[in-house]
Structure 1
Amino acid sequence: MDSDLSSTSNGEIIDKAVDFANYFCTYSFLYHQKEMLCDRVRMNAYYNAVFENKHHFQGKTVLDVGTGSGILAIWAGQAGARKVYAVEATTMANHARVLVNANNLQDVIEVIQGSIEDITLPERVDVIISEWMGHFLLRESMFDSVIYARDRWLKPTGVMYPSHAQMWCAPVRSDLCDEKSNDFEGTMADWYHFIDDTKFNYGVDMSILTNPFIKETKKYCLQTSMWCNLHPDQVIGSPAMILGIDCSTVTVADIIKFTTVFSSIIIKEEDTRLCGFAGWFDVHFRGSRADPAAKVIELTTAPSEENGTHWGQQLFLLDEAKSVSKGDELSLTLTLERSKENHRLLEVHLACGIVKKVAVGKKFYIE
């Protein structure tokens, strides 16, 4: 049975202006930047992409969209860029300026505080570099700003860093499926105890609110997807690419909402449990057709035994695990769209048919 519920983070309606204020406030703290700077997969990929492809930077103009601490702008400068415009919406721009000066690149890098949509550059650029990816790639909608920057400021011969992105989905097993179901049952048991206690001690019957509480609790316990770093052994079926993005041509309309139909084959030798699906992404630094990379670099957030990332994977759990066997084919339809209440967040609807077995499906919200 497909569930078509729509939810917001923890069942709450979030004021967009307040949420964006919180978003920019969070990114203005060094502790948040440090989390990303300590992600070796992230750091190594960008570092290698720049320094293995110096020909894209030497003597060139570069725009860093959402520079944060300024690390990507600094690398571009160290790789020989003539000029780097490092744009940052938050007060982290102040720290970026200090860092640029401390690394003696103040004559090359200009840190500009403001939204990319609101600032004006004196020239078009040869390269746009940005670390815009959110959980399950598109959460936070920062890619919109990169697309705007590309259309407004990138030369026709310019290159995008990264140049391509892909979203993936695969069936998985996880004990979290049982834990989330137990959380739901425990929360509901506590609610019924609360109703009895309130009526007995205070003479007020709260049972009329049971149905909305059930709906709210289902959204929180059963429909809100989870961030995790899975072990590769937990992937029980063949991964499928659900979206491919060419960063030089993609439009905002392409990523606001999309539906894809795909399949996966169970690959585990033994009978196992289908507990849900994991979503992740990878990006590539390939340059452009006219000016390809000397060395293509990949950054992947796929399940890994040793190389987890701060993005991890997004885990979409079923309400109840299903028994599957090697060779079983899963036929899936996935629809992803931005939340109507807050376009930084995502709603995902997954419908899965197991060949000669039951069909399951539900809608998730990435908080």
Structure 2
Amino acid sequence: MGSFGNGPAGDRTGPHGIGGGGGGGGGGPAAAVDKGVDFANYFCTYAFLYHQKEMLSDRVRMDAYYNAIFQNKNHFLGKTVLDVGTGSGILAIWSAQAGARKVYAVEATKMSEHARALVKANNFEDVIEVIEGSMEDISLPEKVDVIISEWMGYFLLRESMFDSVICARDRWLKPTGVMYPSHARMWMAPIRSGLADQKSNDFEGAMDDWHCFLEDTRISYGVDMSILTKPFSEEQKKWYLQTSLWNNLHPNQVIGTAATVKEIDCLTTTVDDIAEVRSNFSSIIKCNTRLCGFSGWFDVHFRGRMEDPAQKEIELTTAPSVDNGTHWGQQVFLLNPAVAVSEGDEVDVSFAMTRSKENHRLMEVVLDGRLKQSSGNLLQPFRKLFYVE
């Protein structure tokens, strides 16, 4: 899904939806969202075809959705389907190709016009109805058998598009209906990475440059701006040391056992269930190295429902990979400084992720941790705040 990041290196911009589309206004239990501001910051990203092309070029994700649909035609043949955030309309077209009787393709942006053109060019005008509008505002003439959506953002929940999918489910899914995907999991594991040293050096360089700027301004223009050093330092610290990074990690950078921090059943999960995620997990270090931080990723599954299971379960994972992985990559939360660890050491972490008060589509993560050496010694605990922007 979409991205809000800007500034120095670290975040990739652009939408993450397979159709690339926006589903709705999100929101959840927090204060009401200004739809105009939300559209300007979020949905407008999805109206550009070059963003659609980037997402549609993610073969891992495309193959997962394609296989989920065409290896489970029993869920689509003769059925009604709702595609939340259809973007270019490809999931709607695949649903029609798999035999759906009717597909409602909802898209919040002007990408809907391209979706209609694509539907017409592929001769599915009699099956697929493209509806422009937010999921929270539109109405359908009937309940649906299937809700399909590519709603996942960085570290699964960034962007809060799942709110719109939940809204669609509660309003329009039949009691016997299925969700595509049906389940999701969030993972975390300790990692090693040269980014820890790089970001620390970048922060120090920014501060050195600031002090040179202060001196030059004082000498050249007779103004002492040193009173601004503290807020400047806090600003740079947030960007370089507290903002999580997008990265495609190699599996050998994962130095400990991975742990599940959240499991989601898309059929029953509520907005309250995902607005705040808390978990305690432990990881055993697998080698002698440096603990440079933690990585977060997710996977989703297409299982159908207990009463109507998928004929072939499909998994889409964004775990560290030996190839290029997916466009989602992983979110990296760096520790500063890194800590020397040995095989057999244990890291105990309390994880909390909440939505940003300033922007409900962005996240804040707190990691409270303690390292216990295999000898039994306890090292200094750490507490770190990160921004998933």
- State the TM bucket, normalised to the shorter chain: over 0.9
- Quick check: 1:166–1:281 contact (8 Å CA) kept in 2? yes
Residue 338 to residue 130, structure 1, CA distance change in 2 (3 Å): same
Aligned-partner residue type, residue 332 of structure 1: V
CA–CA distance in 1 between the matches of 2:36 and 2:356? 15
Residue 16 to residue 88, structure 1, CA distance change in 2 (3 Å): closer
The reply on whether 1:74 has 2:70 as its aligned counterpart is no
Deviation for aligned residue 1:10: 6.2
The reply on whether 1:360 has 2:379 as its aligned counterpart is no
Alignment partner of 1:280 out of 290, 297, 304 = 297
Residue matched to 2:25: none
CA–CA distance in 1 between the matches of 2:35 and 2:269? 25
Aligned-partner residue type, residue 25 of structure 1: C
Residue matched to 1:104: 123
Residue matched to 1:206: 225
Residue matched to 2:37: 18
CA–CA distance in 2 between the matches of 1:183 and 1:30? 34
CA–CA distance in 2 between the matches of 1:327 and 1:17? 52
Secondary structure at 2:232's aligned position in 1? helix
Percent identity for Structure 1 against Structure 2: 70
CA–CA distance in 2 between the matches of 1:78 and 1:16? 34
Alignment partner of 2:357 out of 331, 336, 340 = 340
Secondary structure at 2:204's aligned position in 1? helix
Alignment partner of 2:306 out of 289, 296, 310 = 289
TM-score where L is the length of structure 2: 0.90
Aligned-partner residue type, residue 256 of structure 1: A
CA–CA distance in 2 between the matches of 1:160 and 1:235? 32
The reply on whether 1:329 has 2:321 as its aligned counterpart is no
Residue matched to 1:313: 330
CA–CA distance in 1 between the matches of 2:328 and 2:366? 21
CA–CA distance in 2 between the matches of 1:89 and 1:115? 5
Structure 2: which 5+ runs fail to align? 9-33, 373-377
Residue matched to 1:148: 167
Deviation for aligned residue 1:347: 0.3
Aligned-partner residue type, residue 330 of structure 1: V
Deviation for aligned residue 1:259: 1.4
Deviation for aligned residue 1:258: 2.1
TM-score where L is the length of structure 1: 0.95
- Quick check: 1:9–1:224 contact (8 Å CA) kept in 2? no
- Quick check: 2:72–2:312 contact (8 Å CA) kept in 1? yes
- Quick check: 1:9–1:366 contact (8 Å CA) kept in 2? no
After superposition, the C-alpha distances for 1:70-104 in whole angstroms (9 at most, x for unaligned) are 01000000000000000000000000001111111
Alignment partner of 1:88 out of 107, 113, 118 = 107
Secondary structure at 2:42's aligned position in 1? helix
Secondary structure at 2:327's aligned position in 1? coil
Deviation for aligned residue 1:49: 0.2
TM-align CA RMSD: 1.4
The reply on whether 1:241 has 2:241 as its aligned counterpart is no
* Total equivalences in the alignment: 355
- Quick check: 2:248–2:324 contact (8 Å CA) kept in 1? no
Deviation for aligned residue 1:358: 2.1
After superposition, the C-alpha distances for 1:269-308 in whole angstroms (9 at most, x for unaligned) are xx10000000000000000001000000000000000151
Query: Pairwise mapping of residues 102-251 of structure 1 onto structure 2 (< 5 A)?
Result: 102-251=121-270
After superposition, the C-alpha distances for 1:82-135 in whole angstroms (9 at most, x for unaligned) are 000000000000000011111111100000000011110000000000000000
- Quick check: 1:10–1:219 contact (8 Å CA) kept in 2? no
Query: Which ranges of 4 or more aligned residues in structure 1 deviate by more than 4 Å?
Result: 8-11
After superposition, the C-alpha distances for 1:156-203 in whole angstroms (9 at most, x for unaligned) are 000000000000000000000000000000000000111111001100
CA–CA distance in 2 between the matches of 1:292 and 1:36? 28
Deviation for aligned residue 1:319: 1.4
Higher relative contact order (CA closer than 8 Å, sequence separation 6+)? 1
Residue 264 to residue 241, structure 1, CA distance change in 2 (3 Å): same
